[in-house]
Structure 1
Amino acid sequence: MSLDRKHLLKAMGPGILFASTCIGVSHLVQSTRAGADYGFQLIVFIILANLFKYPFFEFGSRYAGATKKSILEGYQQEGKWVLWVYFLLSLASMFTVTAAVTFVTAGMLNNLMGWSFDPTILSGCILAFCTLLLAFGKYSLLDGLLKIIGSVLLISTLVAFFGVLGKGQIQPIESFVPKELMEREGIIFLIALMGWMPTAVDLSTWNSLWAVERMKQTGYQPKLKEILFDFNFGYIITAFLALCFLTLGAYVMYGSGVELSSNSAEFSDQVVRLYTSAIGDWAYLIIAIAAFSTMFSTTITVVDGFGRAMGETVRLMFFKNAGVKTLYTAMMVIVAGVSFIFILLLASNLKDLVDLATTLSFVIAPVFAYINYKVIMSDQIKDEYKPKPWLKNLALAGLIFLTVFAIIYIMVYFGIISV
């Protein structure tokens, strides 16, 4: 049965927000760095991470389409302990996640404007601006803003991608020594890369929250197939762009003898020059704007997503009669404030901050993946809305994949196995 265009347009939006969340640190930073440091060695792992995480993000949208509620309410119905697990693990990761994306955004802004402001102070200003913007503009402003930013980034990245393909890969310098993937540093980076590829699994709750908010905005309750079309559209774009960023890093920097900097401003300039080396120096300002816009869109969706998800979690757990908007705003302020403290403590090294956030996301991913699987296969969901056998089997394979790699990381990190 074909999709009705008019109704589909009313459902579209959450998928774009999801893509905007993903195409930030995981793509602009980690995928580019993967290509620059390891060439195309990690392409299989990027594909596998996108494949095996897919069911757990899809389940968030599926739950909203089937019940017209957020999956957090599904967590509650499975038992209050499930909400507690989500709440505590989110507390463990959300501040590092927000700190990492904001700090990169500050570097992009410094680079764009030619400033040399302290990136920690600039990060605080960005967090405050995002919080105020969301508190007063709410979902409609976020939805409209990110559709524009997403279009600019998509076009810029595709132009750069085909540009480097046309020029070909650079010749490695004579003294170039490739990095070993199976050494301790390589394995730790691999886990960090997959941690946010395409993004952290716990952010799957945002899909359902945004879908419910979109229903309120339009007054239309879309069918399940319309919600899933919107989600799949965003997911496919994020997966493809991850490969584009990997290619940019591999074609322009791998073997060049130049490493991506840990200084946020220098790193930002390096990333922008990846594009201009393919397109031309004339495009520097355009690409700098697109790169900053990309990271700003990620920051604002992260502040919104954590504020929305934690606000709803706190409401379900403690304050059932409290106003949703009040809790949403309060949680955004807390997320922004504590994340700024994390930036003050960890901002001396951009790579360390990003790796900490992404690795933590991967280690706790199996827990959130299992919770989503448990909810979507429960009696809360009518049989006609449950995943088809192929998706159910993919989810089970994904659980094994995420669990095995989380265990490998822990064993490598603590020296239980040596590499």
Structure 2
Amino acid sequence: MSLNLNHFTKTAGPGILFACTAIGVSHLVQSTRAGADYGLMILGFVIVVTLLKYPFFEYGSRYANSTQTSIVDGYKKLGTPALWLYFLITVASMFFVTGAVGFVTAGFFENLFGLDFLGEWTIIILFVVCVVILAIGKYRILDSLIKIIAIVLLVSTVSAFLLTLYNGPVDPIAGFEPKDLWDVSGIFFLLALMGWMPTAVDLSSWNSLWTLERIKQTNYKPKLNETLFEFRLAYLITGILAIMFVVLGAFIFYGSDDELPNNNALFANEIVSLYTQTIGDWSYVIIAASAFTVMFGTIIAVFDGYSRSLQRTIELIFTKKEEKIRSKFRTLYVVFLLVISTGSLIVIFQFENNLKELVDFATVLSFVIAPIIAVFNFRLVTGKFLDKSSQPSALLKILSFAGIIFLSGFAIVFLIMNFYS
């Protein structure tokens, strides 16, 4: 396909939003922890799960472009029970996911500005800022803000990666013994890592909603291959950055006696401090600002994605005729912003300073429910709902079957382990 730059700029946005949503906790926290605890051996799992999850995220963009409706609308076509199940899955996970992302973001915010006295108010202020930005500007501000964040993210991560490669890995301390990936704690961490690598499968609905919103914003309907090119480019960058963060964690932490703290602010400070030890003290402010920027992009996208998807789900459940929807549910988006922020704060206060437990719980929960959404998405793009010209290739269908088997198998393993533990 030849790339038309003018068309690409009109199409670009949903994929960038997806990337910034993914490159947050899964990369900055989980990928760094993976490299720090298990070294480069963990890279294979990161690559495999990113590849096997790919079809189900792409199907959100494919369905939106082909039908001009979101994949949430598609769930209703599968039957009202499917839509209700999606709604219940979203409600069950949204407070934990938003709480985990908000908790980490607050830690990097405190680290950047040297705040050690605000405590819980840091998270409250952060959530208020996110709600106000989205309530006022919705997609328009989110789209503009996220593109700036994406540039900062790319430049800072690639620079840190190249400088870390140049300096080489740390020398293991005397008597260093690597952690066992195949004991109970190792397998639980592996499940948590794959749960959000590159992000949770149920977030695929957001990409379809953002695709439609971008079309509305620019008044330009891209061809299917233009929408898919934009998403595939963003997904590729997301995967490459995941590999970079694993390598950064392995080169900077693996073999040392530095244990990543469980407190969110201390975790952020440790990450930034050890990065700057490798790159140079001059880079502390740059790394701290970049890390916070990455996480702020993630949390604001998470707020928008959950509120937007919940609004559309409620509209579809309780309204039969499309023309009645807008007048009936005009303020629902803002209501859900407030509900999600309040519920997430309760979750954060419940877990207090136990960062790893909150993040692992949220990521494992995402992994367990992933097969359900994967099957829904696959059915919508391979059955009667899309014409043949819009359906995925045979290769992508094969990859989808492999992905569903992979996700289902590991979900069953987790449930069995959890039952007998």
TM-score range, shorter chain: over 0.9
Matches of 1:163 and 1:412, distance apart in 2: 41
Instruction: Report deviation, 1:138.
Output: 1.4
**Does residue 415 in structure 1 map to residue 420 in structure 2?**
yes
Query: What is the 5 A alignment of 1:9-408?
Result: 9-319=9-319, 321-323=324-326, 325-408=330-413
* Aligned-partner Cα distance in 2 for 1:105–1:43: 25
Which letter does structure 2 place at the counterpart of 1:291?
A
Describe the superposition over 1:91-143 as per-residue Cα deviations: whole angstroms up to 9, x where unpaired: 11111000000010110011001011344321122112101110101111111
Any idea what the Cα deviations from partners look like across 1:288-312, whole Å, max 9, x if unmatched? 1110011011000000000000111
* CA gap 1:146/1:315 in 2 versus in 1, 3 angstroms: same
Change (3 A) 1:154 1:361: same
Asked whether the 8 Å contact 1:192–1:358 carries over to 2, the reply is yes
CA distance in 1, matches of 2:172, 2:330: 54
Question: 1:319 Cα shift?
Answer: 4.1
Unaligned runs of 5+ in 1: none
Note the C-alpha offset of 1:275.
Answer: 2.7
Aligned equivalents of 1:167, 1:254: Cα separation in 2:
14
Query: Displacement, 1:227?
Result: 0.6
Deviation at residue 414 of structure 1 after TM alignment: 2.1
Superposed CA deviations along residues 31-68 of structure 1, whole A, max 9, x for unmatched, are 00001111112111100110000000000000011111
Residues 103 and 347 of structure 1 are in contact (CA less than 8 Å); yes or no, is this contact kept in structure 2?
A: no
What is the RMSD of the two structures over their aligned residues, measured on CA atoms? 1.2
Report the 3-state secondary structure (helix = DSSP H, G, I; strand = E; otherwise coil) of the residue aligned with 1:199: coil
Q: What SS is found at the alignment partner of 1:171?
A: coil
**Equivalent residues, number:** 416
2:21·2:301 contact (CA, 8 Å) conserved in 1? yes
Q: Percent identity?
A: 51
DSSP-derived class of the 1:284 partner: helix
Rounded Cα–Cα distance in structure 2 between residues aligned with 1:344 and 1:223: 46
User: Cα offset for 1:257?
Assistant: 1.1
* Alpha-carbon separation, structure 2, partners of 1:358 and 1:78: 27
Structure 1 distance, partners of 2:352, 2:215, is: 39
Q: 2:15 touches 2:234 (CA, 8 Å); kept in 1?
A: yes
- Taking the aligned partners of 1:342 and 1:60, their CA distance within structure 2 comes to 29
* 2-structure distance, mates of 1:74, 1:138: 23
Q: Deviations over 1:368-392 (max 9, x none)?
A: 1011111111211010000000000
Provide the C-alpha distance between the structure 2 equivalents of 1:120 and 1:80, rounded to a whole number of angstroms: 40
CA distance in 2, matches of 1:112, 1:77: 47
Whole-Å separation in 2 of the counterparts to 1:269 and 1:396? 42
Change (3 A) 1:376 1:244: same
CA distance in 2 between counterparts of 1:312 and 1:207 reads: 13
Look up the equivalent residue of 2:339 and give its one-letter code: I
Report if the CA contact (8 A) 2:64-2:71 is conserved.
Answer: yes
3-state SS in 2 of match to 1:364: helix
Partners of 2:252 and 2:275 within 8 A in 1: no
SS at match of 1:414: helix
SS in 1 for 2:40: coil
User: TM-score, normalising length from structure 2?
Assistant: 0.97
SS of aligned partner of 1:257? coil
